[in-house]
Structure 1
Amino acid sequence: MAQYDVIIIGSGPGGYVCAIRCAQLGLKTACVEGRDTLGGTCLNVGCIPSKALLHASHMLHEAEHNFATMGLKGKSPSVDWKQMLSYKDDTIGQNTKGIEFLFKKNKVDWIKGWASIPEAGKVKVGDDVHEAKNIIIASGSEPSSLPGVEVDEKVVVTSTGALELPKIPKKMVVIGAGVIGLELGSVYARLGAEVTVIEYLDAITPGMDGEVQKTFQRTLKKQGMTFVMGAAVQKTEASKTKAKVTYTLKKDDSTHEIDADTVLVATGRKPYTEGLGLDALGVDLSKRGQIQVGKDWQTSVKGIYAIGDCIDGPMLAHKAEDEGMAVASVIAGKHGHVNYNVIPGVIYTWPEVANVGKTEEALKEEGRAYKVGKFSFMGNGRAKAMFAAEGFVKILADKDTDRVLGAHIIGPNAGELIHEICVAMEFGASAEDIALTCHAHPTCSEAVREAALACGDGPIHS
């Protein structure tokens, strides 16, 4: 067997990016992946396929609601669900084959199969044992469920099953009002399903800016989604084609039932480390099953590192990618760094929702003096031309230094707009720095500048 400098376990965004960067830094690298295709959950049954369906269903929404106003007249398109799934699968294929090409280009060996670590420096795949000076665990996460909720991936599904339903359900119940539930719920609502979201907490998208939460929920209600808040799901009962969800309202302890053709369980994800042999190795885990790592992403066992969803922090593909590049640098003898204070989050509904840095709630809890600059997309000419004037940009800056502490955007292309703030925060910029930067007109990004102006003498178009 070949002696490797690095073996990465898992080829998701963290794993494949780490493998490529290791190879670019001159390390002999292999990546272990048991799926038939590279890319992990994100490319195969997560980020990429869900965005394909979000895009397709948004085009349908535009055709049904806005085309005629723009003078684009004709019969509204009908949905060929089989063809839409084919488009989704083709999108997956293009991306996974792209990773395979990059592995070959960078001379990364793909070891096909599922890995275990019998001891430090060794990775077992099937009957073969491969030796490596360093092992990086990038095994990702898997959907978590609730007691009393049995997933069959046919009627009661996780995000994986929701991406390949044989037909569009008439009624869908989504358990959990987080990112995954709202994105996929939005897809099926646009396609004509009656979507009800049941959430245990009193606000959707837990941890986000409170004002964004309220605006976002109001917008999704307008789009036809129904919300049952403060509700604890007790159980699901499924037949071959139908399901019943039983839940209790916390406010009065009353019990209710709701029928559905499909139940989407979107109650979060948990680290996936099954079969790796971490207990026998003595790798420290948290109570939540996360692999404990130090500042250099090394576990409690020397020479074994971990990144991405299987360690602490937000379960985001780009966070895993950053960690992958950083740990590759560490192993290569360079400096590896991830700024965990500047990791954006995006929800790819329409409008999109994006955030980075601190929320107002967090700043109040810290007792930090801050100021708010806010600008509505109603004052943005480009957004109005796109029928996308609902929403706003909010920038939070230190009251004394004007340094940008965070930003929250709900509106058109929010997932693209947020990166201007990310760059600003990475360089320690002030709101005034953004306000004094010329922005092209007409663009949605002008709303970011106006919010920055609102941190000072005031916006122009409000």
Structure 2
Amino acid sequence: MVVGDVTTGTEVLVVGGGPGGYVAAIRAAQLGLDTTLVEKDAYGGTCLNYGCIPSKALISATDVAHRAGDAEHMGVFANPAVDVEAMMEWKDGVVTRLTRGVESLCENAGVELVDGVATFTGENEARVAHSGEGQGSETIAFEHAIVATGSRPVTVPGFEFDGERILSSKDALALESVPESLLVVGAGYIGMELSTVYQKLGCDVTVVEMLEEALPGYDQDVTDIVRGRAEDVGVDFYFGEAASGWEEREDADGIRVRTESTAQDGDGDEEVAVEEFNADKALVAVGRRAVTEDLGLDALGVETDENGFIPTDDQARTEQEHVFAVGDVAGEPMLAHLASKEGEVAAEVIAGEPSALDYQAVPAAVFTDPEIGTVGMTAAEAEEAGFDPVVGQMPLRASGRALTLDEKEGFVKVVADAESEFVLGAQIVAPEASELIGEVGLAIEMGATLEDMAATIHTHPTLTEAVHEAAMAARGEAIHTANR
């Protein structure tokens, strides 16, 4: 039976059920607004279903196996056997549990959930084609809209995803077996995380990157440690290499990928060199772009910028006063936790609350080995902003807790203003850096000083002591490391 077209109404229409959209919907409903959330795929969005959560589950599982098999110097002798199928089932179970949790939270808050694809057909209405054959469609009239359609992987010309030979990150997180060899195109955070995962599972991983370093945007003292650890477990890197094409190998057993690099000859003329790499599969991880096509933004009266993102102000509002955009669709930085905060702010503004975004203390984390955690400004950024920065650093090799974890590579670096001692930022390369960075984020948000951090007693022995010691070092009062 085909369900006919119907028309319904709502105060707030949220399009996209990822970490920006479902949080916005729940918060709007909490504030007493009649709220409808439309999701075309799976609640929780890319982050929960195909990105953040499944990748971190696999990172955790592979770390367990790798550490157990590489601990002879600690007196532990083991040769772990990895059942990849069982590992993927466990990962999928984690995702399913969280996805169901999102649906339950929305329903308990009073959010109307609609499965389907939404297209704006006017400034105050959208048409939703319901999921499932023969399910029909409906028109939803709304007073306010929150666009939270997220992002999708960027493709490299000639490397369209097929799920077999050319993989997206989503494909790579769902493989039923480990390939013997994998070529990773891109050494950003996704490429670095997944290359280490598959190398630890016994895959021969090669990374090609068109730039000259891994993890562009991070300071070299950060990337050197992470790249070095990846090389230690067997990942091979080739920088300055742009993927240009691929083909099936003659024996139909894998693929051959071509890359190009440029250099100057003795006369100063530019030369192009071509390299070839053999692998079973290629993972293309060169970035993500906003999902805005076929959304009907023209009918909504909203335009994207030159990079395809929807411009917003500090209240997540677009050029249309009644339309908001949150998460990846609103541009960099593409972070799930930032999307959630933007969703909260959008809902509160719609409800008439005095809410706005403050980007000075947005943390970021990369779940490499070791992890990277950053928040606020680097020393260079602080100086550019007009501060006189002072930096305190604590190397992990001087941390008792780090050594008991068999971790001696990494550091905590705290940046503050020399005169006022207000904390401005931090960079952490360490186990659990994603957890440690929260302390500095809170310090920035509260306007704390180095003295505040130094006066706070930290548990011993813990990794958080390194944050405390870095703050002490910035004041020239380090106890466990030499003052400079």
Scaled to the shorter chain, the TM-score interval is over 0.9
How far off its partner does 1:148 sit? 2.6
Q: Aligned partner of 1:322: which letter?
A: K
- What TM-score results when the alignment is normalised by the length of structure 2? 0.92
SS where residue 154 of structure 1 aligns? coil
In the alignment, which residue of structure 2 is the partner of 1:95?
98
Quick check: 1:200 aligned with 2:180? no
Quick check: 1:410 aligned with 2:402? no
Which shifted more, 196-205 or 362-371? 362-371
Query: Aligned pair in 2 of structure 1 residues 241, 275: CA closer, same or farther (>3 Å)?
Result: farther
Which shifted more, 201-210 or 307-316? 201-210
How far off its partner does 1:64 sit? 0.3
Q: Aligned partner of 1:250: which letter?
A: T
In the alignment, which residue of structure 2 is the partner of 1:303?
322
Asked if structure 1 preserves the Cα contact closer than 8 Å seen for 2:244 and 2:260, the reply is yes
SS where residue 451 of structure 2 aligns? helix
Distance 2:467 2:99 in 1: 34
Asked if structure 2 preserves the Cα contact closer than 8 Å seen for 1:18 and 1:324, the reply is yes
Query: Aligned pair in 2 of structure 1 residues 447, 144: CA closer, same or farther (>3 Å)?
Result: same
Quick check: 1:277 aligned with 2:296? yes
Deviation per CA, 1:294-341: give whole Å up to 9, x if none.
332222233221111001221110010000000111000002222212
Distance 1:359 1:33 in 2: 38
In the alignment, which residue of structure 2 is the partner of 1:59?
64
Which shifted more, 250-259 or 318-327? 250-259
In the alignment, which residue of structure 2 is the partner of 1:118?
121
Identity %: 40
SS where residue 161 of structure 1 aligns? helix
Asked if structure 1 preserves the Cα contact closer than 8 Å seen for 2:450 and 2:472, the reply is yes
Distance 1:275 1:308 in 2: 18
Deviation per CA, 1:393-419: give whole Å up to 9, x if none.
011111222211110000111000000
CA RMSD of aligned residues (A): 1.6
2:201 to 191, 211, 214: 191
SS where residue 250 of structure 1 aligns? strand
Distance 1:110 1:241 in 2: 46
Q: Aligned partner of 2:258: which letter?
A: T
How far off its partner does 1:380 sit? 1.1
Asked if structure 1 preserves the Cα contact closer than 8 Å seen for 2:229 and 2:369, the reply is no
Quick check: 1:322 aligned with 2:341? yes
Distance 1:16 1:28 in 2: 14
SS where residue 58 of structure 2 aligns? helix
In the alignment, which residue of structure 2 is the partner of 1:129?
139
How far off its partner does 1:19 sit? 0.6
Asked if structure 1 preserves the Cα contact closer than 8 Å seen for 2:241 and 2:261, the reply is yes
Distance 1:281 1:32 in 2: 16
Q: Aligned partner of 1:24: which letter?
A: Q
Structure 2 alignment gaps of length 5 or more: 1-6, 130-136, 265-271
Asked if structure 2 preserves the Cα contact closer than 8 Å seen for 1:197 and 1:225, the reply is yes
Larger Rg: 2
Q: Aligned partner of 2:87: which letter?
A: M
Q: Aligned partner of 2:39: which letter?
A: E
Distance 1:138 1:413 in 2: 29
In the alignment, which residue of structure 2 is the partner of 1:141?
151
Q: How does 1:66-81 map to 2 (within 5 A)?
A: 66=71, 68-73=72-77, 75-81=78-84
In the alignment, which residue of structure 1 is the partner of 2:448?
429
Distance 1:145 1:162 in 2: 15
Deviation per CA, 1:221-257: give whole Å up to 9, x if none.
1121111112222123246652222112234532101
SS where residue 17 of structure 1 aligns? helix
Asked if structure 2 preserves the Cα contact closer than 8 Å seen for 1:3 and 1:132, the reply is yes
SS where residue 419 of structure 1 aligns? helix
Deviation per CA, 1:414-448: give whole Å up to 9, x if none.
00000000000001112221111100111110000
Asked if structure 2 preserves the Cα contact closer than 8 Å seen for 1:209 and 1:360, the reply is no
Which shifted more, 93-102 or 238-247? 238-247
Q: How does 1:234-249 map to 2 (within 5 A)?
A: 234-238=244-248, 242-249=254-261
Asked if structure 2 preserves the Cα contact closer than 8 Å seen for 1:209 and 1:361, the reply is no
Quick check: 1:255 aligned with 2:261? no
Q: Aligned partner of 2:47: which letter?
A: C
2:43 to 12, 19, 38: 38
Distance 1:29 1:237 in 2: 49
Asked if structure 1 preserves the Cα contact closer than 8 Å seen for 2:400 and 2:461, the reply is yes
How far off its partner does 1:65 sit? 1.0
